[in-house]
Structure formats: structure tokens, C-alpha cells
Amino acid sequence: MRTKQRMKRILLIATGGTIASGYTKEGLTPQIEAGDLLRYVEEYKDFCAVDVLQAFSLDSTNLYGRHWLELAGLVEKYFSDYDGFVICHGTDTMAFTAAALSYLVQNSPKPIVVTGAQKPIDLPVTDARTNLLDSLRFASEAKAHGVSIVFGGNVIAGTRAKKERSKSYNAFSSINYPNVAVIRDGRVVFYIDDKPCKEQAPIFYRRLNDRLLLLKLIPGMDGAVLNRLFPYYDGVIIEAFGVGGLPEYGETPFFQEIRRWTDAGKPVMMATQVTHEGSDMEVYQVGKVIKERFHIMEAYDMTLEATVTKTMWVLGQTKEPGEFRRLFYGTVNHDILFGDIMA
């Protein structure tokens, strides 16, 4: 005789976003409270019990490090009380939040799901109800763990998601890594069936350093921009062309300014503007020389969102170059392939 399993307890944390928005004269703005979201997906009662918590009610454009720390703190506070967590969030910065939570809550044996929608949940035609129900379903799965985004039927590792479409329902893609799972017809099919380290308890971090500059190169940019911004930031990520490199033109060479940052102990990270396949600075002279001369680190196959939030997390823990390098290249939630070799 089959034993009836205990129904999973899920905490739904609402933060605002399109899924909870209503129309005003000024445009869409979050209005629907956490408890009201559940009225649109009552099928969840067949497989889980849900409590709700309204963390804040913001367009995700207005979310940043302080809010990521608050969300991680709520997961930590209620971690022992629930089997999983679903965070309703706006889509515009959802990938940043999911990546940040991957670094702030590591080795979680319980699922922490981030979801949202391209249309408000109270519209007749919307992706919101499917996404929310899928997220609750995935958070109730016995094999689910760690931080992920559930959107458009796909389950994406929190460090691998990128919003690639501004309006379509299939807004998010998994970059340089396969989907963790898919959800079809109410069933979860896992593609990645890994497990958190059982010998280690979940690790919660409470510090980020968001004094981080992201500089996107454009043709003709002068290195003087780094000089002007130097006093305001503790590190810089340069989003370069192709596999990575720096131009040699201009009145103020980039070489000169990179030396200024590295001599001051401020990390310089090279990323790429190309979405897929990642950086490889050793291919061309414009990258190889500067990497060898200044020991610049690079993001390789990481998403920009993961590179930004991971750098903020590492800067919050240490500024010692060796430890910074060790932490950055340590693989967290599938964020970098062969990271330990690069360290």
C-alpha cells in the first residue's frame, strides 16, 4: 500500500513586477498583493500548501543589491520552515537577482525559484498564471534544489539566465549551459540531475560590494573614461568586443589606466559583448598582451549578469587578489565551466 506523501510547504515571496502590475495613467505599476496572486492559480492546492509574504512592491528596474540581500535574508530566516521558495519578480532585472541569490545562498538543498511574467496576472491572456503555477510545481519537486528561474516552461540555473526578448513569452534563455529541466503538461522533466553537497550545510552570505563599474566598449572610446571614474568604484568589468581585448588608440591609452586600477588593488575583469561562447583573451594580441602584463581576469563562458553579481559578492568577502581569484573561479550553481582549472 502506497504511503501518502506530505504536501510540500512553499513560501511565496512577492516583490512586485509585471506579474503583479495594473494599468495607470503613467503606465504599468505593481499593485496586486502576494495573497491575491494565488487566487489565479488555485490548482496549486492539489500539490502544495503556500504561505505568502510581501517583501516589497517595485518595478524590477528599481531593485539592486540592498534588495538582493533582503531576499536572501528572508530565505535564511524562513529556511527551516518551508520546503521551497518562490519569488515573484519583474523580468527586467530577474536574471541579476537570480544570479545574486545563487551567490548569497549557496549549496541549498531546497529550491529557490524566481519567476515573473510579461503580462499582468489579471489579464485574460497572460503568461503569468502558467509561470506561477509551474514555479510552485517545480518548488514542490523532491529533486529540485538551489536557485533557478522558471519561465516559459523552462527551468534555468540562476547563474545562466538572460532575458533575450523584451515582449515575447519565451523571454529567457539559458546561456552556454543546458536547461536544468522543462515543465510540460504539469510534469517536470529533469535534464540536469545533480545534488547539493550533503556534507555541507547551506551557506548564507550577508555582504555585497556594489561599488562596481561595468564599462561597455564602443569603437573610438578613450581610456580616459577609466581615469574619471576611478575614485568612485572598487573594481571594473570591461565588456569588450569578441573574445576580449582593449584598443590601442586614443590620447589616454587603456593600458595606462588598467595599470592605475591594478596597482591600486582594484580588480579588472574582462567580459565579452557576445552572448554565446564566452571570452578567450589569449587568441589575439590585443587581449593576450594586456592579460599577461596585468594579470587581468576574464569571465570566460559566464553570463554578464553572473559576472557582475559574482564580482559584487567576492568584493564583499575580500579584496586580497589571490583570494579574490580563488572565489571568483570557484564554480557556483553551474556558473562557469572549468573554473577551478582557471584559478
Shared domain for 198 and 109, answered yes or no, is yes
The pLDDT of 182-197, averaged and rounded, is 88
Whether the pLDDT of residue 96 is over 60: the answer is yes
Shared domain for 182 and 217, answered yes or no, is no
Between these two residues, 252 and 198, which has the higher pLDDT value? 252
- The whole-angstrom separation of Cα 247 and Cα 1 is 71
* Chain centroid to CA 211: 18
- Confidence at 113, pLDDT banded by 50, 70, 90: very high
Shared domain for 297 and 266, answered yes or no, is yes
CATH number, position 70: 3.40.50.1170
Shared domain for 149 and 223, answered yes or no, is no
Domain span at residue 237? 212-342
Is 51 domain-assigned? Answer: yes
Whether the pLDDT of residue 199 is over 70: the answer is no
Is 1 domain-assigned? Answer: no
Whether the pLDDT of residue 196 is over 80: the answer is no
What pLDDT score was predicted for residue 4? 58
Shared domain for 315 and 180, answered yes or no, is no
Catalytic annotation, residues: 18
Is 220 domain-assigned? Answer: yes
153 half-sphere exposure, CB direction, 13 A CA radius: 8
Whether the pLDDT of residue 149 is over 90: the answer is yes
Q: Give me the number of domains the chain comprises.
A: 2
Residue 65's alpha-carbon distances to 72, 206, 308, in angstroms, are 11, 11, 11
Shared domain for 192 and 71, answered yes or no, is yes
pTM exceeds 0.85: yes
CATH number, position 233: 3.40.50.40
Is 330 domain-assigned? Answer: yes
Whether the pLDDT of residue 1 is over 50: the answer is no
Whether the pLDDT of residue 235 is over 90: the answer is yes
Shared domain for 216 and 200, answered yes or no, is no
What pLDDT score was predicted for residue 262? 93
Domain final residue, candidates 204, 230, 250: 204
Shared domain for 184 and 234, answered yes or no, is no
| Lowest mean pLDDT, pick from 52-66, 212-226, 327-341 | 327-341
Domain final residue, candidates 204, 235, 266: 204
Q: What is the pLDDT of residues 33-49, one digit of tens each?
A: 999 999 999 999 999 99
Is 37 domain-assigned? Answer: yes
Q: What is the pLDDT of residues 59-74, one digit of tens each?
A: 999 999 999 999 999 9
Is 312 domain-assigned? Answer: yes
Domain final residue, candidates 152, 174, 204: 204
Shared domain for 153 and 266, answered yes or no, is no
What pLDDT score was predicted for residue 195? 74
Q: Which residues contact 248 (CB under 8 A, 6 or more apart)?
A: 254, 255, 286
| Lowest mean pLDDT, pick from 26-30, 100-104, 157-161 | 26-30
Angle at 310 (CA atoms; ends 292, 261), nearest 5 degrees: 40
Average predicted confidence (pLDDT) for the chain: 94
Shared domain for 66 and 28, answered yes or no, is yes
Shared domain for 178 and 224, answered yes or no, is no
| Lowest mean pLDDT, pick from 1-5, 164-168, 257-261, 314-318 | 1-5
Shared domain for 309 and 286, answered yes or no, is yes
Is 184 domain-assigned? Answer: yes
Is 45 domain-assigned? Answer: yes
Whether the pLDDT of residue 87 is over 80: the answer is yes
